[in-house]
């Protein structure tokens, strides 16, 4: 009788704990610096003051930091194993007070060519947006999402989207790409989960 009570107590406790979805993206919280990521992103250590007694800039003290380039798109990418045909993409990020994306229409035309993803069909996006690609590894099969940040705010911003049409259990690539401009954008967390 005692074992039955213990079992039901443990079952009740398990039902009250929140379910934690597994992140398909490796090091999506950047707790391990920029490991598993490639491209133009930089680690907080790159922005640390030379004098250890100086306080670091809170804006560049965590996450994956992208310093915009004046004439070219910047991007960071990671290969990961997709688990199902769909999921939820969540990105939490901050923009520097001086962040300003290019307003030149040419910087937003034929995006695949601008970020050197030549296998994709050409498409344009509105000035001031940045994008996230999720593709099957080594192919042009996938989808993209346009994100328009709120400028002038240093508060964290979150983008969330339901992703569908993935090939289950196949290798994928996630690419986050930013138009030319000035300032910095910090990705605090990026996740791809099945719920």
| Phi-psi label, residue 110: left if phi above 0, alpha if psi -120 to 50, beta otherwise | left
| Residue 83: exposure state from Cβ atoms within 10 A (0-12, 13-18, ≥19) | middle
* pLDDT computed for residue 4 by the predictor: 58
User: Which residues, including other chains, have CB under 8 Å from residue 33's CB and lie 6 or more apart?
Assistant: 27, 43, 44, 45
Tokens of 3: 């074992």
Identify which has the larger pLDDT, 155 or 9: 155
3-state SS, residue 133: strand
Is it the case that residue 88 has pLDDT exceeding 70?
Answer: yes
For residue 112, which phi and psi values (nearest 5 degrees)?
Answer: -55, -40
* pLDDT computed for residue 6 by the predictor: 45
| C-alpha to C-alpha distance for 59 and 48, rounded to whole angstroms | 11
Nearest to 187 by CA among 59, 12, 64: 64
Average pLDDT over the chain reads 87
| % the chain with pLDDT above 70 | 87
Contact 128, 70 (CB under 8 A): no
Nearest to 185 by CA among 57, 70, 97, 104: 97
The confidence band for 81, taking pLDDT boundaries of 50, 70 and 90, is: confident
Contact 48, 56 (CB under 8 A): yes
pTM of structure: 0.84
| C-alpha to C-alpha distance for 110 and 118, rounded to whole angstroms | 10
| C-alpha to C-alpha distance for 30 and 193, rounded to whole angstroms | 17
The confidence band for 17, taking pLDDT boundaries of 50, 70 and 90, is: very low
Of these ranges, 20-24, 114-118, 174-178, the one predicted with the greatest mean pLDDT is 174-178
Contact 134, 163 (CB under 8 A): yes
| C-alpha to C-alpha distance for 174 and 29, rounded to whole angstroms | 15
């Amino acid at each position: 009788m005692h074992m039955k009570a213990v079992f039901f107590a443990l079952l009740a406790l398990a039902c009250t704990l929140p379910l934690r979805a597994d992140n398909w993206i490796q090091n999506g919280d950047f707790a391990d610096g920029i490991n598993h990521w490639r491209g133009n992103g930089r680690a907080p250590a790159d922005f640390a003051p030379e004098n250890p007694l100086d306080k670091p800039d809170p804006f560049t003290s965590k996450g994956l930091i992208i310093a915009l380039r004046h004439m070219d798109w910047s991007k960071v990418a990671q290969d990961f194993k997709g688990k199902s045909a769909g999921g939820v993409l969540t990105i939490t990020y901050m923009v520097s007070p001086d962040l300003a994306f290019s307003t030149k229409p040419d910087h937003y035309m034929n995006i695949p060519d601008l970020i050197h993803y030549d296998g994709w069909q050409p498409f344009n996006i509105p000035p001031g947006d940045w994008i996230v690609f999720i593709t099957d590894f080594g192919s042009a099969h996938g989808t993209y999402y346009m994100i328009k940040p709120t400028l002038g705010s240093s508060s964290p911003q979150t983008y969330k989207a339901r992703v569908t049409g993935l090939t289950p259990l196949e290798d994928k690539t996630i690419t986050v790409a930013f138009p030319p401009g000035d300032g910095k954008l910090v990705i605090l967390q990026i996740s791809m989960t099945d719920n």
